[in-house]
Structure 1
Amino acid sequence: MKLLHIDSSILGGYSVSRQLSAQVVAQLHAGRDDIEVVYRDVAADPIPHLSGGYLAALQSAEADRTPELQAEIVQSAAVLDEFIAADVVVIGAGLYNFGIPSQLKAWIDRIMVAGKTFKYVDGAPVGLVPGKRIILTVARGGFYTGESPIVSFEHTETYLKTAFAFIGLNAEAIVAEGIAVGPEQRAAAIEAAEAQIAALTA
């Protein structure tokens, strides 16, 4: 089984999403020697954001492919191949200004590729990469569930679930929220998320 582990937090060792994503990988790996893990840190080694030059190069063999653009095309293909090859994808993501880190958006843009991961049939999207398991570990500083007045402001978990649903995949989410409220809430949120992780099976 191939497992792709993606981290996107810019907080390094202080990141809750990184802490939880690592625990998910360890939980799935426990007692098994048939899991091959590929790790990509899109914060430490960012993928370029999409550009007009890149899109033009994909659509026309006549486009001017500078060495930099050619390197980007090769990198983009490698990112897509990693995703397609994976049986399980574990993604650590924080909520930054109500959405996903821009570095993670750049990765999403490289895997949402018409003809590779989705196509349209009678105007409706159809996923081309079925059977993958997607596990999200999401960290949020405030509260975005229940009776919170800012429930509709949450666009990390909801965006990622929407993106993966578009290509035919259901994403599971393990969420620690309220981690910026105070030390006690942070600890309680992490403990609750860790209990969910402990119940995961490969």
Structure 2
Amino acid sequence: MPTLLVLNSSPFVETSVSRGLTSEYVESWKTANPSGTVVFRDLTASSLKTIDAAWVGAAYTSKDARTAEQKEALATSETLLAELRAADEYVLGVPMHNFSVPAVLKLWIDQIARVNETFSYADGSPKGLLAGKKATFLVASGGAYDAGTVMASYNFVEPYLRTVFGFLGVTDTNFLSAGGASALMYGKIDRATFLQPHFETIRSQFVTA
């Protein structure tokens, strides 16, 4: 049975565009995978901390040599890594914050990007250890930052996430963007109307010939 890991990183709930997109993705995925398992991780409620010297020291200490304190320092990271390994597919709701990813998503990445866990240098070159996984990124932004737009060069979300996940071995990636969400804030369009075409795009990903 396939497993989908859902990661949300918006500080908003009911009004969040990215959470609306992940909810639609989950429903479509469940329809296509009726026997599958869905695991949710709300990064805004996960109390993730910045990594410090103790964390780094623990991560670079062999497992059988770690002290109780070092194991505790890595406890959250171990939990997040277990979720990653158990899932066959990931879907991430990503609101653009200051042209990049939300701070909580960066904290999560720092917790799971670990040598000999999600990547290695066994042969002297970096090798991703999460090969065979698939990731879909549902990106919401106030403005339009897609390729070909005036503000395209300001988009650091897609290149960053593509690079990080590719480094970890996840090369089967798909980005769906919902730009122009600021129109919702100014009452220029209602939420249902704005989301509808993006919902249709998500549903189309599950249509089989």
Q: TM-score, normalization: structure 2?
A: 0.85
Aligned residues of 2:59 and 2:114 also touching (Cα < 8 A): no
Query: CA separation in 1, counterparts of 2:66 and 2:49?
Result: 22
Q: Trace 1:3-82 onto structure 2 (pairs within 5 A).
A: 3-30=4-31, 32-60=33-61, 61=65, 65=69, 70-82=71-83
| Residues 134-187 of structure 1 deviation map (CA, whole Å, 9 limit, x = unaligned) | 011110100112443321111122211111111221321111001103533976
Number of aligned residues: 199
Partner of 2:144: 143
Query: CA separation in 2, counterparts of 1:79 and 1:146?
Result: 32
Query: CA separation in 2, counterparts of 1:185 and 1:13?
Result: 14
**CA RMSD in angstroms, aligned pairs only:** 2.3
Secondary structure at the aligned position of 1:22 is classed as helix
Query: CA separation in 2, counterparts of 1:56 and 1:10?
Result: 31
Residue 54 of structure 1: how far off its partner (Å): 1.1
| Residues 46-87 of structure 1 deviation map (CA, whole Å, 9 limit, x = unaligned) | 31121122112333457792xxx6544111101011101110
Paired AA for residue 199 in structure 1:
S
| Residues 67-125 of structure 1 deviation map (CA, whole Å, 9 limit, x = unaligned) | xx654411110101110111011110100001101101111112211112112366542
Percent identity over paired residues = 31
Q: TM-score, normalization: structure 1?
A: 0.88
Secondary structure at the aligned position of 2:143 is classed as coil
Secondary structure at the aligned position of 1:6 is classed as strand
Q: Give 1:178's match in structure 2, choosing from 177, 180, 191.
A: 180
Range that drifts further, 16-25 or 154-163: 154-163
Range that drifts further, 186-195 or 110-119: 186-195
Query: CA separation in 2, counterparts of 1:9 and 1:64?
Result: 34
